[in-house]
Amino acid sequence: MNVQTLPPGYKTAPWMPPETITGAMLAEASNKLIELLRIRTQPIGMRLFEDPAEMDAIKGVRKPTEGFKFTMCQMVTQSRWYGFTLGITVDNTRGGNCGGVVGLNHPGEGFLSGDHMNGVWFGNKEASAAHQAQMPRVPDGKYNGLVVSPLRSARLDPPDICLFYGTPGQMIYFINGLQYHRYRRYDFTVTGESACADSWGRALATRQTSLSLPCFAERRYGGVADDELLMACPPDELLRAVEGMGHLGKNGLRYPFPPYGAVMDPALGMAKSYS
């Protein structure tokens, strides 16, 4: 992009991500993300594999004990809290929906028909079936394995998507960083229960930055805290946000946001933040 083709209002070309993104770049960005946002747990990466044998070549990859099955949110928690690099196939997932969200299996007619959630999460079969029909999913039939790993390890080189948990304040600052050089309005989805479809499901399927409200299952089985949201994004968007937040910090806009006070005249603060 040259100066003659810049969008209105731009004096210099917007920041662009590197053509090739490596695990080492994302490990460095992960450290910066923790420093900038003070998040509680490790940012992680997630990558799908067509051939599960390729997962065995990843350094330090763990496989679940034979006969053990987990929900996807439990696997994510093992990686972000305990630092595990975990490789799984559909045989390690609990329930047709978990593997179905990431494309490891067909969800099954019991879910798609609405039978399984009817009378529990939904008051009628039509609502339950509509929930399944509208869930973002990776199409099944192509992928047979998935690995989750902390970005700091650089073991996924690179991952398909990056994920981290944070508070609403941390998430809006991350989005501000995304918008610093290249403004884009971000629209996010709310599935309700099965909200992993709004985070890693949507991001893996579309490669779009996806913010989600973790659901009952993520909180009950994955241990997600009450104040946590989940961000999932492609690697270039993580680099873009970290770079943008660096500029925001230089402009005096840093996380955490110091409260100005609800009974104070905001003129002085607003003059620095908005003019």
Q: What is the pLDDT of residues 16-34, one digit of tens each?
A: 889 999 999 999 999 999 9
Q: How many CA atoms lie within 13 A of 179 on its CB side?
A: 10
Query: Does residue 201 have a pLDDT over 90?
Result: yes
**pLDDT class for 267, splitting at 50, 70, 90?**
confident
Query: Does residue 4 have a pLDDT over 90?
Result: no
Q: What's the order of all strands across the beta sheet hosting 229-233?
A: 86-88, 145-150, 44-49, 161-166, 229-233, 210-212
Other Cβ atoms closer than 10 A to 132:
23
Mean pLDDT of 27-51: 97
Greater model confidence, 272 or 5: 272
Q: Which residues contact 266 (CB under 8 A, 6 or more apart)?
A: 260
Could you read off the pLDDT of 102-160 as tens digits, one per residue?
999 999 999 999 999 999 999 999 999 999 999 999 999 999 999 999 999 999 999 99
**pLDDT class for 174, splitting at 50, 70, 90?**
very high
The percentage of the chain sitting over the pLDDT mark of 70, rounded to a whole number, equals 95
Query: Does residue 66 have a pLDDT over 70?
Result: yes
Distances (CA, A) of 272 to 139, 266, 268: 48, 10, 7
**Hey, is 113 helix, strand or coil?**
coil
Query: Does residue 68 have a pLDDT over 50?
Result: yes
Mean pLDDT of 47-72: 92
Query: Does residue 193 have a pLDDT over 60?
Result: yes
Whether the Cβ atoms of residue 74 and residue 222 lie closer than 8 Å to each other: yes
Mean pLDDT of 198-203: 97
Whether the Cβ atoms of residue 31 and residue 154 lie closer than 8 Å to each other: no
What is the distance between the alpha carbons of residues 151 and 41, in angstroms, rounded to a whole number? 11
Could you read off the pLDDT of 206-237 as tens digits, one per residue?
999 999 999 999 999 999 999 999 999 999 99
Whether the Cβ atoms of residue 83 and residue 61 lie closer than 8 Å to each other: no
Average pLDDT, the chain: 92
**pLDDT class for 10, splitting at 50, 70, 90?**
low
Tabulate helix, strand, coil % of the chain (nearest 5).
40, 10, 45
pLDDT computed for residue 64 by the predictor: 87
Q: What are residue 149's phi and psi, to 5 degrees?
A: -160, 145
Q: What are residue 197's phi and psi, to 5 degrees?
A: -65, -25
pLDDT computed for residue 3 by the predictor: 37
pLDDT computed for residue 9 by the predictor: 60
